[in-house]
A and B are shown apart, each in its own frame.
Chain A
Amino acid sequence: MATEERTKEILKGLQDAVINFDEDKVRELCHAAINEGVDPYVATMDGLAAGMLEVGEMYNKKEYFVPEMLMCADALYAGLDILKPAIVASGRKAKVSGTVVIGVVEGDVHDIGKNLIKMMFDVAGWNVYDLGKDVPLEKFVEEQLKTGSDIVAMSAMMTTSMLGMPKAIEMIRAKNPKCRIMLGGAPINLDVAKKYGADGYAESAGTAVDEAMKLIEMLRKEEAAAE
């Protein structure tokens, strides 16, 4: 078993390696964590994921941009590849923060932003159902019903394709009025999201998860009040 000090050192090292998009370092420290008996779940959440949340913060502060964030993501996934099997082997059930169905609406094939947000949900411990790009509107409805997700997150990068969003929102609401819907993408802003009848708006990859958490908390409160 690693000492408390050594554990801290490894976790800090993992955070920094993700932030500095140093894949090799991430791998080295993940192996070290496993060999030295650091809980792989802790290494994932307090090491890798914590680093990625910091990256999201840097993105918000405009210090990091898309290329850096994608490289951090590569480093993160390199670590997860090592730690995930160890978590499964330990039999530990991860705490699920929430469930989200995510995709780029039909007519649109630009998915870099969606992929970044998907990753942020991943690191925040969400169950993510990724429908990919150019997703037919009814597919969002089907998948939401199938998975019973708390959130549906839709992205559009073109003003033409974003016009499908209000339709999709209407269709989802008709089937499941409780589901929370959030929108994101270059042509979307808070006004548009409101006008389309969405519950939330993700301004960037860094804020999407917080926004989703808020929506869920509101949902839970309403449910509690209703009971």
Chain B
Amino acid sequence: MSEKENIGNRHRIIFQPSGRRGYVDKGKTIKQASVALGVDIEGICGEQATCGKCKVRIEEGYFEKYGIQSGRDHVSPVGEVEKKFFNLQQERGGYRLACQTQVHGDIVVFIPEESRIRKQVVRKPARAMDIELKPAVKKYYVELVKATLHDTLGDWERLQDELEKKFGLSNLTIDYQALISLQNVVREGNWKVTISVWKDKEVIKVDAGQVTKRCYGLAVDVGSTTVAGYLCDLTDGTVVTTASMMNPQVIYGEDVMSRITYHMSNKDGLEHMNKAIIDGLNEIAGEAAEQAGIKREDIVDMVIVGNTCMHHLFLNIDPLYIGMSPFPPAIHHSLDLKARELGLKVPPEAEAADKGGYPPCQVACPAGVNGQDFLYLTAQGKFSEALELVRRAMPFSGVCGYVCTYPCEVECERGQLDEPLSICSTHRFLAEYELGAGRAKATPVVKKREDRVAIIGSGPAGLACAYDLIRKGCPVTVFEAAAKAGGLLRYGIPDYRLPKGMLDNEINFIEELGVEIKTSSPQKDVKSLFDQGYKAVFLATGAGIPQKMSIPNEEASGVICALDLLRKVNSGENVELKKRVAVIGGGNAAVDAARVAKRLGADEVVLIYRRSRAEMPAIMTEVEEAEREGVKLHLLAAPVKILAKDGQVIGLQCVRTELGEPDDSGRQRPIPIKGSEFNLDVSHVIVAIGQVVDKATLPAGLEYTSQGTISVDPETLQTSMEGIFAGGDVALGASNVIKSIAAGQQAAISIGLHLEGVDLKRGRPAPLKRVENVPKTGLEKVARRVVPLLELEQGKGSAGDSREEIAAEESKRCLNCSQFAETAAVVECRDLGVKIAPGAYIHVLPIEAGFVGADNVGVLLAEKPYEQDAIELIIDIGTNGELILGNRKKLISSSCATGPAFEGAEIRFGCRAAPGAIEKIEIDPETKEVRFKVIERHEWNTEVDNIGANGICGSAIIDVVPQLFMAGIIDRTGRFKKDLQHPRFRIDEGGAEFVIAWAKETSIGEDIVVCQDDVRNIQLAKGAMYAGAKLMMRRLGVDKVDKVILAGAFGSYIDKKSAAVLGLFPSCELENIYSVGNAAGDGARVALLNVDKRVEADIMARQVEYVELTVEPDFDKVFSEAMWLPHMKDKFPHIENLLPGKAAK
């Protein structure tokens, strides 16, 4: 490395974007240096400074990657001759003529596109695709009534009226820039104009005359290395032209990491890179418009995809945090921005949470179930996928479908229009659907952690906690005192309200994931659990002792506690209730007990409640059902005394009440009315006024609240004892199922943080922010439909729509609220400066995770793996390799640090795809002679002289290692066989190397070789890819993929046989390997042409589960095994015939 230092009068020079580097003697010109290093710069005047074609830019700043400080004072000063070729901006920007500029120090030189002799071949052609046309921008032609002295209505209002009258477009707004142009355009067109309307909401452009046909959009894929733009006609969906270029940010670093580093070590780094890409986009827009013969202002819509880093740099968002573990992006949600303005700058201290806003149903649900997303899938008839989504939040889709108090529906935005969605009955339906169709056994979760957790109590809180912990790979044991798991769900809720089959199915699912449930195992001694090696305990034992009424004769025979009654009935014990029964209380237990009493044969059941109907905590539909069944309500009455004879209940004395001031609970306090006592003739009294915690069953040393519940931190659920958490009724007091589930979830978060030793409060996810301003104009009212209960339907016979149809129809009413999410806080506004139609928007697709960006969402949209049955592995090959695995049931994604090897960097003669680059290599196994092809020549090197190769590009880099392997030149560990005797093979001080192109076949005057380090770098890259795929397969629980899709800049040029022999991915039939090219760009086009797909992108991006691979416990082993060719251990039945015999090693 020491030779890298300045040796006397030599300086380092790095040319960008090619990345070619070397040393140059002090005083030589940049042009001379470029010739010496084989870099081509235009120039036709013989270095006389008369043609001005050799413009280059001297970069300023410290370049961490190369370890050099470049500056404009490292070259000779600008001469007068040079100056005339530059405008002021260029001069200030460091532009120079290469032929006139002498090197006086280390420099980084950027050669702009126009000064390059050989243009980069951007191999990202558009693929023919069938996309349903539904663009965001539509054009409308209107003829206005000319303003007169009698009709002086403003131009805009005039236009608004006409648009409403003719096209029914109401509540339109107009973009400021469009407004400014309005008056002149209207008159220029003699009151005939064409209006461009964005999403039927906003007028973004006004043109004179009838030009509805002239409507264009630009879809752009911003890759780390190349930027490709597809200009589409929005009236018919065709790709009019393609424009592409090197990403001008390349000078700041070849890969995303080095760009983030440039930002970190240079004060204006972000600004430089942001400006570079905006300039680049303008160049693309300009070039595309020129090729198509239109004005750039005719581009009225734009969609951008890019990896997370490109996304942030384009939006001028600080990329620092995506460059460091744990790599969180600033925002996940898609964005709609004005092309011209914006300047979104997310403050760096902003937490890494979505700022977009969540649907109100999800925000209202204590357990965080995203109603919108599962309704979206239900609407498409994807019931099992929808259920999978509910399960992502919590395990009790069916249980909650039956017994939840559905706070989600109260908040549903649709309720403000007509009626809220029937979210509750829909997820009940999903669970019933699964029960009916049968469920495949759940795949057990790999237990990644060693610290075991004990949960005491298997009610909703305990099981929800266990469910979340096991999914994090944490071993969990649930101890239950009763004979069966479920707690109050099993013993406290009557069968007619929650069928046991449903409960069993959902508990089984949790057990199948790997949760150990020990029934008939009461646990009092928590300390002994810690002694047994449990590292944390969650107490979810509920409230087991009935609250006393404290009135005379409460001990009399015939007084029974509601939960006792329900437990007995649920356990199948015989209970006799005859004659008249009084039930005291207004909660669900009271109503359940009353209805059960009725079912057990009581002649008359009276429910006595001390407040009015409005204050009853029970679910109102349940109360109505009870009344329908004959239960009588005695409201505004309270018991005073039980009348007993010989220790047997014979009646109940009550007093009438009236409502006074509100109490602590906010409800009006019932006040007895003096002298209003009355007697009821009853034989049984069922008490259902609440339960209290049984302290005797809990560990000594806990602190309690004045209500007798365990005292916990309301946020973390931490008790007064280290490592012990409590939630559900034991800590909340009597609550409900969904709140208990939420408590279990919070406990799981706390326990996870506790085991990691992280602060319990700091590490918690931020609360979800509700989306604001969901528009409802122009929507028709549609009646709400509740999916009927399974048994009811069977009883009545199916009249009308099936349950499936009702669920799907009902789900279609969902407004998909989160699509209206506000974007991140705009802190500082400035001109974004993308020059298309001044009023146009740019839509930026959402991000999945720190290293799975909007480009990957583009791939999703283009490939639609979420509609496939086959298990697909989609590999997006680039500087940062991204993987998607799965099918319609579940998709997971990940990224692997392949490094830029496949893009040609870090390979001795690697280069990017440009004319002269070797793009295909074949080695004869017998003679070990090499055949190759270069870009833009049809012949092979063996067929013509002067083929003029200048490097090896991506597709050939993937060819070369398997070719060397199959020809027996390297062994399966990747090592060159030392004993090989062949003119192309040599070992010098740099190690072993093999000649691909002799000097006479090149344009650079030396042999192009592949050396041992090159092979090693390719092994690292391919090993990372393979290991990623393998770990994801394990995570998904599949041992084989049905289909492999190769996407990426040069995806369509990859030889799939080479990729298979190299071992880029696990074994797959060759005919099921597909190359699709730039799927990210295709996805951008899909989103450009169909706004519905933008909504779909947001929803799908949320559904794909991101997996971090490097934290898998055996990542090192999986990775290192995958570096061999094609793999150290795995079998490749499909390509066995291609692999060299056993003699290879």
Binding site for B on A (CB under 8 A): 61-68, 70-71, 106-112, 115, 134, 158-163, 187, 189-192, 195, 203
Binding site for A on B (CB under 8 A): 1-2, 4-5, 64-65, 67, 253, 257-258, 260-261, 264-265, 320, 323-325, 897, 973-975, 991-992, 1012-1013, 1016, 1019-1020, 1023, 1110-1111, 1116-1117, 1119-1121, 1123-1124, 1128
Residues of A within 8 A of B1 (CB): 189-191, 203
Residues of A within 8 A of B253 (CB): 159
Residues of B within 8 A of A110 (CB): 897, 1110
Shortest beta-carbon distance, A167 to chain B, in Å? Answer: 12
Q: Which of B261, B265, B973 contacts A65 (CB 8 A)?
A: B973
Whether A163 touches B1013, Cβ cut-off 8 Å, given contacts A70-B1120, A110-B1110, A191-B1, is no
Contact at A158–B67, with CB atoms within 8 Å?
Answer: no
How many Å lie between the Cα of A223 and that of B264 in the bound state? 39
Q: Which of A62, A64, A112, A161 contacts B1116 (CB 8 A)?
A: A112
How many Å lie between the Cα of A64 and that of B974 in the bound state? 9
Contact at A160–B991, with CB atoms within 8 Å?
Answer: no
Contact at A109–B1116, with CB atoms within 8 Å?
Answer: no
Q: Which of B261, B265, B1120 contacts A66 (CB 8 A)?
A: B1120
Whether A67 touches B4, Cβ cut-off 8 Å, given contacts A62-B991, A160-B260, is no
Contact at B1120–A134, with CB atoms within 8 Å?
Answer: no
Shortest beta-carbon distance, A151 to chain B, in Å? Answer: 20
Nearest CB to that of B974 among chain A residues? A65
Contact at A109–B1111, with CB atoms within 8 Å?
Answer: yes
Shortest beta-carbon distance, A148 to chain B, in Å? Answer: 25
Contact at A67–B1128, with CB atoms within 8 Å?
Answer: yes
Residues of A within 8 A of B1121 (CB): 67
Most buried by A among B257, B1020, B1128: B257
Contact at B1123–A67, with CB atoms within 8 Å?
Answer: yes
How many Å lie between the Cα of A20 and that of B1012 in the bound state? 21
Contact at A65–B1019, with CB atoms within 8 Å?
Answer: yes
How many Å lie between the Cα of A115 and that of B1117 in the bound state? 12
Residues of A within 8 A of B258 (CB): 159
Residues of B within 8 A of A61 (CB): 991
Contact at A67–B261, with CB atoms within 8 Å?
Answer: no
Contact at A160–B2, with CB atoms within 8 Å?
Answer: no
Contact at A108–B325, with CB atoms within 8 Å?
Answer: yes
How many Å lie between the Cα of A84 and that of B63 in the bound state? 48
Shortest beta-carbon distance, A135 to chain B, in Å? Answer: 11
Residues of A within 8 A of B992 (CB): 62
Contact at A159–B1110, with CB atoms within 8 Å?
Answer: no
How many Å lie between the Cα of A63 and that of B1124 in the bound state? 13
Shortest beta-carbon distance, A67 to chain B, in Å? Answer: 4
Most buried by B among A65, A115, A190: A65
Residues of B within 8 A of A107 (CB): 323-325
How many Å lie between the Cα of A161 and that of B1 in the bound state? 22
Pairs of residues from A and B, 5 with the lowest C-beta to C-beta distance, nearest first: A107-B324, A160-B323, A159-B261, A190-B1, A67-B1120
Contact at A163–B261, with CB atoms within 8 Å?
Answer: yes
Shortest beta-carbon distance, B974 to chain A, in Å? Answer: 6
How many Å lie between the Cα of A163 and that of B1019 in the bound state? 27
Contact at B67–A192, with CB atoms within 8 Å?
Answer: yes
Whether A161 touches B975, Cβ cut-off 8 Å, given contacts A62-B1012, A62-B1016, is no
Contact at B257–A65, with CB atoms within 8 Å?
Answer: no
Most buried by B among A67, A70, A71: A67
Shortest beta-carbon distance, B123 to chain A, in Å? Answer: 27
Contact at A161–B324, with CB atoms within 8 Å?
Answer: yes
Contact at B1120–A159, with CB atoms within 8 Å?
Answer: no
Nearest CB to that of A189 among chain B residues? B1
How many Å lie between the Cα of A161 and that of B321 in the bound state? 11
* A-B pairs with beta carbons under 8 Å apart, 15 shown: A61-B991, A65-B1016, A67-B1121, A67-B1128, A70-B1117, A106-B325, A107-B323, A112-B1119, A134-B325, A158-B257, A159-B258, A159-B261, A160-B260, A161-B324, A189-B67
Contact at B2–A68, with CB atoms within 8 Å?
Answer: no
Whether A160 touches B257, Cβ cut-off 8 Å, given contacts A67-B973, A192-B67, is yes
Residues of B within 8 A of A195 (CB): 67
Contact at B1120–A109, with CB atoms within 8 Å?
Answer: no
How many Å lie between the Cα of A121 and that of B958 in the bound state? 36
Contact at A163–B264, with CB atoms within 8 Å?
Answer: yes
Residues of A within 8 A of B1117 (CB): 70
Whether A160 touches B67, Cβ cut-off 8 Å, given contacts A107-B325, A108-B325, is no
Residues of B within 8 A of A65 (CB): 973-975, 1016, 1019, 1123
Residues of B within 8 A of A109 (CB): 325, 1110-1111
Residues of A within 8 A of B1013 (CB): 62
How many Å lie between the Cα of A111 and that of B325 in the bound state? 13
How many Å lie between the Cα of A158 and that of B899 in the bound state? 11
Residues of A within 8 A of B265 (CB): 163
Shortest beta-carbon distance, A132 to chain B, in Å? Answer: 12
Residues of A within 8 A of B991 (CB): 61-62
Further pairs besides A67-B1124, A110-B897: 15, Cβ < 8 Å? A64-B975, A66-B1020, A66-B1120, A68-B973, A70-B1116, A107-B324, A115-B1116, A158-B257, A159-B64, A187-B64, A190-B1, A191-B4, A191-B67, A192-B64, A192-B67
Contact at B323–A191, with CB atoms within 8 Å?
Answer: no
Contact at B1123–A63, with CB atoms within 8 Å?
Answer: no
